[in-house]
Amino acid sequence: MVIENNPRKPIFNKKKAYLFGSPVAHSISPKMHNLSFDEIKFNATYKAIDIDKIHIDAVDEYIRREDFLGANITMPLKTDIISHIDRLDISSELSGSVNTIVPENGSLVGYTTDGAGFIDSLGEIDENITDKKILILGAGGAAKSIIVSLALEGAHRITIAKRHNKTIDSVIEFSKKVSEKTPCDVNVIDIGDSTILREAVTENDILINATPVGMTEDSTLIDKSLLRPGLTVCDLIYEPAMTKLLLDAKECGCKYINGKYMLLYQGARSFKLWTGQNMPVSKVKNTIFS
């Protein structure tokens, strides 16, 4: 009661979580996390704050405060945020990407939950990555996080199919680093070489599209004739829910999944890091993802 009369002291010490990036207005993360906080009666709120690369210093005002519970980082800040925090876990260090900040014993630690979230999402189609040979199209931020998690979590071999352009050397460097620091062998092929790409699709168990191809147009990087039952096809795109690649995969009898559940499970991983508790995934699925 005494506290209630003092306007400067809140009754409860509500913790604050954020999503930083730009644009963030249409993100479903605030809905997902606020519903989860309410559901487990965790005294916190989650808010999306639009911050672009030029104004990234503004993040410091939020993440250094006492009431800071944690944050998600999205495009275009996933790499630039690294200089604003104190240390990185191994997935962030290897991928060069941070999508989650967690305050731990007075310092701010960067994690990436994108890759683990992707692996978790495969449970939705009864798939797992243990000892699997995996072909991933693209080598951007999402691909790198997934590659690192696949390599740390037991994939047998990863092949990155990438355009032969100015970023090829850095991606080859990245593949060597992951091969050295994990038990998994990672190699890079030229996505423009149709013979090599054809062989790669034939030899692998799981195919992942981590490029934006298929998002705005009815196109795919993989010819339908290469798809077969027994190949699992994943597209990180979730809008549209069925890209041309996934429509082809369905017709060819492949297991397939889009990026919707990766979004859910990366959020669930972040939630666990901040609260120590499991996200009420079924409730979130039924309320927001159905």
Which residues contribute to the site for ligand NAP (CB under 6 A)?
A: 114, 138-143, 162-163, 165, 167, 191, 210-213, 215, 221, 236-238, 259, 262-263, 266
Q: Count Cβ neighbours within 10 Å for each residue of 84-106 and write b for 16 or more, e otherwise.
A: bbeebbebbbbbbbbbbbbbeee
Kindly tell me which of 51 and 139 has the beta carbon lying closer to ligand NAP: 139
Kindly tell me which of 204 and 211 has the beta carbon lying closer to ligand NAP: 211
Nearest approach in angstroms of CB 219 to ligand NAP is 8
Kindly tell me which of 16 and 125 has the beta carbon lying closer to ligand NAP: 125
Kindly tell me which of 110 and 138 has the beta carbon lying closer to ligand NAP: 138
User: Residues 78, 162, 244, 260: which is the catalytic one?
Assistant: 78
78 part of the active site: yes
Nearest approach in angstroms of CB 99 to ligand NAP is 8
Q: Which residue is nearest to ligand NAP (CB)?
A: 140
d(CA 98, CA 81): 7
Q: How far apart are the first and last CA of the chain?
A: 43
Nearest approach in angstroms of CB 13 to ligand NAP is 32
CB atoms within 10 A of CB 182: 21
Nearest approach in angstroms of CB 32 to ligand NAP is 12
Residues 6+ apart with CB under 8 A from 118: 145, 146, 149, 208, 234, 236, 262, 265, 266
Residues 6+ apart with CB under 8 A from 140: 210, 211
Beta carbons of 257 and 229 less than 8 angstroms apart: no
Enumerate the active-site residues.
78
